[in-house]
Amino acid sequence: MTTSPSSDSDSDSELRRRVLVVGIDGVRLDLLPAAATPHLDAVAGAGFLGRIEIDEATPTMSGPCWATIVTGVGVAKHGVYGNHFAGHRLDVFPDFTTRLARQDGRKTFVAAGWEPLLLARDGGPLFAAPSRLSYIAPRADTSEDWQVCDEQVTAEAVHVLETDDPEASFVYLGAVDETGHLHGCGDAYLRAIERADERLGRLLTAVRSRPRYEEEAWTVIVVTDHGHRDSGGHGGRTAEERTAWVACCGPGIAAGPPARQLRFEDVAAQVYASLDRPADSHWTLDGRPFSTPSAHLAPAGL
């Protein structure tokens, strides 16, 4: 993945800014080198892959971690402390797809199979009102059923990316996490990571196949929410559970290791920055973008 510099600010302004966030649940950073992940490696090679240490206030569970990632604020503000979202404050601190759709009228898209993300169950949804959503439920909580679910989610997201024009998209893949819970972090877990990477590759191919791709400036963010114990499971404070990661490439994203400690809250901040949408001070975001504010855009080059 390479990008080329823009010739001037006029050409910058003509490029159509787009963001794709791919959330892969429960992927341990220390085990990534043991899996074949060429598509994640390509994102990291064009930008970076950096470590995130989950702060002491945030349980190492999917609910609070994804809420922080997509709202740009910590648990004290959004109020999600577990996988049941009861008592949340997402009306005050909405996810980026909802905020962009409601406040700016932008087209946004979410595809996922985990109920609290998109349905009014277990205190959800986390994503309240994207302009387009696709919920595809697994038949049961088995690793095999979650693989089928992720395949269907990916196919739907590929269709939307190829035929529609969302400015900001979030695609959730859950099979790696379910495999960790049921089988621990052995060979089956590594194979699940590789299958998630294959799906990431299909999403990137869908972006590249867009009719106006050469006129677009794409930011791609790939992020996980927590790790796993060797035996499977999370929610504690071991290094394996509380270590997450994020990879990002796109306009203004410097290649190479991040120069600062990264946080979940930075993801939403980067989405707004990539769309040239200044964050309102009243949003009280806790994160800041990865990108350099003054950097020129570049044509799509994933």
Distances (CA, A) of 195 to 128, 151, 155, 251: 29, 9, 14, 28
pLDDT along the chain (302 residues), means of 10: 40 83 98 98 98 98 98 98 96 98 98 97 95 96 97 98 98 98 98 98 98 97 98 97 98 93 98 96 97 63 60
Distances (CA, A) of 19 to 117, 161, 193, 225, 285: 19, 11, 23, 19, 19
Q: Which residues contact 120 (CB under 8 A, 6 or more apart)?
A: none
Q: Does residue 32 contact residue 232 with C-beta atoms inside 8 Å?
A: no
pTM across the whole model: 0.94
- Tokens linked to 210: 């867009």
Domains and CATH numbers, the chain: 9-283 (3.40.720.10)
Amino acid at residue number 117: L
What's the pLDDT tens digit per position in 119-170? 998 999 999 999 999 999 999 999 999 999 999 999 999 999 999 999 999 9
Q: Which of 289, 130, 297, 132 is nearest to 218 (CA)?
A: 297
Cis peptide before 289 (omega within 30 of 0): no
Report CA dihedral (127, 177, 218, 73) to the nearest 10 degrees: 50
Q: Given the structure tokens 């922080």, which residue do they identify?
A: 68
What per-residue confidence (pLDDT) applies to 256?
A: 94
What per-residue confidence (pLDDT) applies to 302?
A: 65
Q: Given the structure tokens 């794709």, which residue do they identify?
A: 20
DSSP, res 55: P
What per-residue confidence (pLDDT) applies to 193?
A: 98
What does the DSSP assignment read for 73-94?
S-HHHH---SSS-TT--TTTS-
Which residues make beta-bridge pairs with 164?
Answer: none
What's the pLDDT tens digit per position in 276-294? 999 999 999 999 999 876 5
Q: Which residues contact 17 (CB under 8 A, 6 or more apart)?
A: 167, 216, 217, 219, 251, 274, 275, 276, 297
